[in-house]
Amino acid sequence: PGVLNLDGVEYDAGFATLRVPFQAVGSAAFSGPRLITSDTELTLLPLDLDVRQETSGVATTLMRFDVWNMNEVKLSGARRCVSCWDQVSLGVYDPPNHFLLETLQTDHGVMRIDGTAAADCIDSTPRAAWAIATRRLRIDGGADDAASTGVAAGAGFEAAVVRFDPVGGPPR
pLDDT by position in tens, the chain (length 172): 799 999 999 999 999 999 999 999 999 998 999 999 999 999 999 998 888 888 877 889 999 999 999 999 999 999 999 998 999 999 999 999 999 999 999 999 999 999 999 998 998 999 999 999 999 999 999 999 999 999 999 999 999 999 999 887 655 6
Task: Return the CATH number of 2-164, one of 1.20.120.80, 3.40.50.300, 3.90.1750.10, 2.60.290.11.
Answer: 2.60.290.11
Cis peptide preceding 96, ω within 30 of 0: yes
For the entire predicted model, the pTM comes to: 0.89
Domain residue extents for the chain: 2-164
